[in-house]
Structure 1
Amino acid sequence: MRKVKYAIVGAGTSGLTALGEIRKHTDDFVIINGGHYGTTCARVGCMPSKAMIHSANHYHEAKHFADIGINGAQSLSVDVSSVMTRVRGFRDRFTGGIIGSTTENLGDKRIDGYAKFVGEMILEVNGEQIQAERIILATGSSPVIPAPWKSIGEKLLTSDEIFELETLPKRIAVIGLGVIGLELGQSMARLGCEVTGIEMLETVGALSSPEAIEKAKALFGAEMDLHLGVAAQVMPNPENENEVLIKAGDKEIVVDAVLASLGRRPNLASLDLPAGGISVDERGMPTFDVHSAQISDKPIFIAGDLNGYRQILHEAGDEGRMAVYNAMNFPEISRFERKTALGVAFTDPQIGLVGARMSECDEATTAKAVFHLERNNGRAIVNGTDRGTLVLAANKETKQLLGAELFMADAEHLAHMLAWVIQQKMTVMEILRLPFYHPVMEEALQSALRNLAKEVYSDEEMGITAELTRLT
């Protein structure tokens, strides 16, 4: 039996982060990885999708050039196969860089294969048993696929396969309109596909505020055929074996392919945690501390998509740092404050979700304010991006900003600014005392904050100098 001090299982964001730190201090480790190397983001997520979105948005914008005095764009066309080749080129560039810089030249410390527990602190991979003093589990996640849907065979796609297509299907149903489904659905529509979007919830892009949801439904509904609040049944079309039949509520829809975007499930089952003496719940999830990444009181740590907490790259990187720090200092365990929740959908307009969700705020203790971009922000008007809504929430007593939902152009930037001030526990007025230039999109945030200030401050507190910092 091989014995090592550290075993890292999984070579995604969390696992590679842990590897980078451990190898600075020791060569007494192994990293075990089944399947592809490279992060979910670089391989099948953030980066290839952004490359596809980039092409789609450029082509879409060209259709509106005449509105701003640029003629001739009507003769432009899109070569979807070239777009997909470009997407894969970027994907290979990003994943190649990750693999080349982190996992090459590791010799027998790199083990390609799927690990499972066969005893306490004992892993088996490719028939070899490895006993480790500390273990970091970071095997990632896989797309959720309902078993009955597999009856349509290769016509069923997930984000793991969509970027491998040489071209895109003429008609496609995107089932699940969270961030990934919405991004890919809109980009495919802009590249010329007939897109049907289906979502069980009465929302898109994980928005929860009614004001933002209504705007989003209207704008995305103009580009895709939306069916919200309905479950979907997927099956081969009995009238044409080359087609897929979808039943959504009382509607029957025929398409050429389906993109299943129902979320991602942690890759837990193959690890056989109970065989390692680890108790799990009905979902197969062990008890762990999100502030330390530690499983129970064991020298075992769980990070990244595998723990299902926040399946986002920057969170996975932080969890990898937590896990490796505590693994290296065990039995002393440190707990770390989690960063303000931050999520972005790179749609057009973009969606930014920051801090507390609007649907989870207690109405008795929370004040909310809404600001609509239409005709209310000069920069948005001249840029043709005066579409969308900002929704902010603050604690009535502390007056601290709690959360925001943004549906607007360039929400990715304002979402970061808001995450920073929320993490600093700033009050609404403290934020308003920061500079806002003119004419910029940030003025929309200033207007929304002023609306929110009226809800949490008295008229006297909202005096003429309230937004100034008094020296004397």
Structure 2
Amino acid sequence: MSDFITPDVDPAAADRTVDVAVIGAGHAGLNALKEVQRITDNYVLINGGPLGTTCARVGCMPSKVAIQIAHTFRQRHKYDRYGIKGAEHLQVDIQNALAYVREMRDTFVDLILANTTDDMEETFIDGYAAFLSPERLQVGRQIIAARRVIIATGSRPVIPKAWSGFQERIITTDDLFDSHDLPKRIAVIGLGPIGIEIGQALAHLGVDVIGFDESATVARVPDPVVNRLVVETIGRDFPLVLGQPIAITETGDGLRIFAGGCETHVDKIVACVGRTPNLEHLHLERLGVPLDSWGVPVFNPNTMQIGPLPVFIAGDATGAATLQAAMEDGRIAGYNAVHNPIVPFRRKTPMTVLFTDPNIAMIGRKWTELDESAMIVGQVRFGPVGRTMILGNNRGILRVYAERATGRVLGAAMIGVGAEHIAHLLAWGIEADKTVFELSQMPFYHPVIEEALQDVLLDLAHRLKGEREDAFHLPMLGTVRHQYTPEWII
């Protein structure tokens, strides 16, 4: 046994004593386990329910396969303009398309299992864990004493109680990708990132889709300028009803939905109104710490520790909802579970990417988190960017937020083709604490979508230098530093 923790658990009262017990074999749990395995081989991974991670089974991966099929089919609308004839005869076989989604889903799941739980043997326990105390777990008839515990039990879709009378007409993201066919008319309720992606993909595949959200924002984009263009752009693919209370009643052959002045009839609804942590089996009340309104124990987001306990929490179980956050949570929780003292970590620059057509992305600090008087906003439309015109997809806007006093890039929001790549460049720049001046000096090729980023950075740099010439001591705009010759101007 390693000496990272004082062994204060009574092994005599347990069937098994381990250094660390990880509860949940999703991305958060598996990443926590990697950190644990660096220090000790005395651990268990406990998992109740299906294996394979939310991302691989019902989330990121199968949804992106469906989105890719939908995007490919939609391209037929451009063929005649390109001189490619016969597009009007193309059809999508929904059953075959869904079979391909399931095939790819199974492949992703198999890859994860082959590299994780398939070879774990006695270190893997199939079952639901419950706390007896902070250092004692029960799984079936087995009692496990664990010096440290990591909770990574994931989440599941929320289905409002008011919908309990017509659950057979509700599709969730947890069962959508098991479908063998799709109804003709679908309402997507909840237009956050998941709802927008699914709604647009289904519409592109020929399903009659209508979207509803009681919020006036779509995809959780707080920037009002970007949100307007998101609503306008996505609204071209399927109608959006926003900012109105939603009421649903069952009819003989479907559901009738009322929202404001809108009334529509659909066969089924896709519920995208959020996810709730899977914590009900754990008996967290036995930990003796406060729980929030979702039943999540109060924890430190920089250490992932729950109060002063030898218990950590990670991933969707915390209420977070992205794979990259789950992975980061897991690594922090896993590291701290096998080290003393417990170390706080600085969190990485947040980033959200939607694989809509065109992409939607948010990076760094959000519009609502910033002081407008202390920042300057750069904006560029994708319309005149040569590469986007060539792709036939030049509808979009990029807005970058910079600190007025220093020129540091703080955040950004955008909708546009290739935004998934621009988002990463900006996230790396923010993570490295770069200014618009420094980023504007980076190399850019032509013709590429990234020229939109170059334009907005140069615009911000010029405007900031005009405001505070005395505040910046940086290379002249347009300057190149050559490794052999003195500075020269292009």
The two structures have a TM-score, normalised by structure 1, of 0.95
Kindly report which structure 2 residues correspond to 1:179-258, keeping only aligned pairs within 5 A, or say none: 179-237=193-251, 240=252, 242-258=253-269
Query: Whole-Å Cα distance in 1 between the matches of residues 401 and 114 of structure 2?
Result: 45
CA distance in 1, matches of 2:351, 2:259: 32
Q: Match for residue 410 of structure 1? A: 418
Aligned to 1:328: 338
1:111 to 125, 134, 150: 125
Counterpart residue type for residue 397 of structure 1: A
Give the conservation status (yes or no) of the 8 Å contact 1:8–1:19: yes
Determine which of 275, 283, 296 is the counterpart of 2:294. 283
Alignment match of 1:45 (pick from 59, 66, 71): 59
1:322-471 equivalence runs, <5 A: 322-330=332-340, 332-374=341-383, 376-458=384-466, 461=469, 465-468=476-479
Answer whether contact 1:186 1:220 (CA < 8 A) is retained.
yes
Give secondary structure in 2 for the equivalent of 1:142. strand
Counterpart in the other structure of 2:11? none
1:359: how far off? 2.4
Q: Match of 1:143? A: 157
CA distance in 1, matches of 2:224, 2:292: 34
CA distance in 1, matches of 2:140, 2:267: 40
SS state at 2:149 partner: strand
* Structure 1: distance between partners of 2:350 and 2:283: 31
Q: 1:400 to 1:407 in 2, by over 3 A?
A: same
Deviation string for 1:381-422 (max 9, x for gaps)? 122111010011011111100001010001100000000001
- Confirm or deny: 8 A CA contact 1:151 1:235 kept in the other structure: no
Cα shift at 1:179: 0.8
**Alpha-carbon distance, 1:97 to partner:** 1.5
Instruction: Tell me whether 288-297 or 268-277 shows the greater mean CA deviation.
Output: 268-277
Equivalent-residue separation in structure 2 for 1:299 and 1:264 (angstroms): 27
Describe the shift of the 1:301–1:459 C-alpha distance in structure 2 as closer, same or farther (beyond 3 A). Answer: closer
1:23 Cα offset (Å): 3.8
- For 1:30 and 1:464, locate their aligned partners in 2 and report how far apart those are by CA, in whole Å: 55
Aligned to 1:173: 187
The aligned amino acid for 1:100 is A
Q: CA RMSD in A?
A: 1.8
CA-CA distance at 1:25 after TM superposition: 4.4
Aligned-partner Cα distance in 2 for 1:210–1:457: 27
1:28 match: 42
Amino acid at match of 2:309: K
Alpha carbons 1:9, 1:139 under 8 Å: kept = yes
Question: Is the Cα–Cα contact under 8 Å of residues 294 and 300 in structure 1 kept in the other structure?
Answer: yes
For 2:323, the equivalent position in structure 1 comes to: 313
Q: What is the aligned counterpart of 1:131 among 138, 145, 170? A: 145
Question: Is contact 1:8-1:30 (8 Å) kept?
Answer: yes
Distance 1:208 1:451 in 2: 23
- Once the two structures are overlaid, the 10-residue window that deviates more, 414-423 or 22-31, is 22-31
Q: Report if aligned partners of 1:368, 1:394 keep a CA contact under 8 Å in 2.
A: yes
Structure 1 runs of 4+ off > 4 angstroms? 459-464, 469-472
Deviation at 1:34, TM superposition (A): 1.1
**TM-score, length-scaled by structure 2:** 0.91
SS for the counterpart of 2:107 is helix
Counterpart of 2:87 (choices 59, 73, 92) is: 73
- Deviation track 1:237-273 (CA, whole Å, cap 9, x = no partner) reads 2xx2x30111212322110000010121122233221
Distance 1:373 1:412 in 2: 14
- Identity over aligned pairs, percent: 41
- Give the Cα–Cα distance (whole angstroms) in 2 for the partners of residues 120 and 443 of structure 1: 54
Question: Retained in 2: the 8 A contact 1:344–1:350?
Answer: yes
SS in 1 for 2:115: helix
Gaps of 5+ in 1: none
**Letter matched to residue 379 of structure 2:** V
- The structural deviation recorded for 1:63 is 2.1
Q: Is the 8 A contact 2:43 2:123 kept in 1?
A: yes
User: 1:30/1:165 Cα in 2 relative to 1: closer, same or farther (>3 Å)?
Assistant: same
Q: Deviations over 1:204-262 (max 9, x none)?
A: 1121222212211112111101101123222312xx2x301112123221100000101
Deviates more, 1:77-86 or 1:22-31: 22-31
The code of the aligned residue for 1:347 comes to: T
Shift of 1:26: 3.6
Matches of 1:459 and 1:306 in 2, distance apart? 46
Count matched residues.
466
Gaps of 5+ in 2: 1-13
